[in-house]
Amino acid sequence: QNACIAVMSYSGYDIEDAVILNKASIDRGFGRCMVLRKHQTSIRRYANGTMDRTCSAPDPKEFPDGEDDKRFARYRAIDKDGICLVGEELKNGSIMVNKESPTDTSTSLGGAEFGLQGNSASALSQVNYKPSGMSYRSTAPSYVDKVLITSNENEQFLIKVMIRQVRRPEVGDKFSSRHGQKGVCGLIVPQIDMPFNEFGHTPDLIMNPHGFPSRMTV
């Protein structure tokens, strides 16, 4: 982004190296950034032959208000395989991976880990599971950017989810030029209150000239 910068003293909020931003420029997308965060969970296999599993969203009929129920809304981002879809919006409490873990991981099932049929297979099918899903915890909504299914050195399946959050500039954010002239946003001013030139153009950003001599970043 190439910003239109005015080097001038404007009010007391651009003292030293502080900068003033044009609110209209921010509304048009100036200075916005994307914050990427990674979350991961593992599908473990236990010593008694049981292992974690992923499940699809529950039936809306299980909830009193159906699809309008707040508890069902937590599962809107996941697909039939129990993993969230790329591009879906995540809100506070949304399920990213609907995982279930066995309640008993110590009692032996008698060879079920080797895929034996008979009593072992029936015992494996009667394993009780408890919810252990990975949920999104933040007051600000985000979007699913990437989903990766892989494994580690312990032969455990790993489900990695990268989420994307777009943030707009706020008071206190630091900006810097390519020459290292940095400054903290001291004020966000409406465009009607910004200075303008003979053509009526208002700057996107105002920098105080007193921040240049001591730093020698010109």
In percent, the amount of the chain with pLDDT more than 90 equals 41
User: According to CATH, what is the number of the domain 33-167?
Assistant: 2.40.50.150
Phi and psi at 27, nearest 5°, equal -65, -25
The backbone torsions φ and ψ at residue 88, rounded to the nearest 5 degrees and listed phi first, read -75, 150
Q: Give the per-residue pLDDT at 188.
A: 94
pLDDT by residue (tens digit) across 125-169? Answer: 678 888 888 999 998 999 999 999 998 777 678 999 999 999 999
Torsion of CA 176, 177, 183, 185, to 10 degrees: -80
pLDDT of residue 155: 67
CB count within 10 Å of CB 112 equals 21
Average pLDDT over residues 177-194: 89
Which conformational region is residue 167 in: left (phi greater than 0), alpha (psi within -120 to 50 degrees), or beta?
A: beta
pLDDT tens by residue, 56-78: 888 877 777 777 788 888 888 99
| The pairing of beta strand 5-7 with beta strand 205-207 | parallel
Q: Which of 164, 168, 170, 198 is nearest to 184 (CA)?
A: 170
Give the torsion sign (CA, 96, 97, 103, 104).
negative
The pTM of this model reads 0.73
Domain assignments of the chain as residue spans, ordered by start: 5-32+169-211, 33-167
How many angstroms separate the CA atoms of 169 and 163, rounded? Answer: 20
In the DSSP assignment, the letter for residue 201 is: P
pLDDT for the residue numbered 124: 59
Q: Which of 172, 46, 25, 30 is nearest to 106 (CA)?
A: 46
**Band of residue 50 on the pLDDT scale cut at 50, 70, 90:** confident
Report which of residues 95 and 14 the model is more confident about.
95
Q: Which residues pair with 70 in a beta bridge?
A: none
pLDDT of residue 147: 94
Helix (H) or strand (E) holding 17: none
Give the residue with greater pLDDT, 155 vs 191.
191
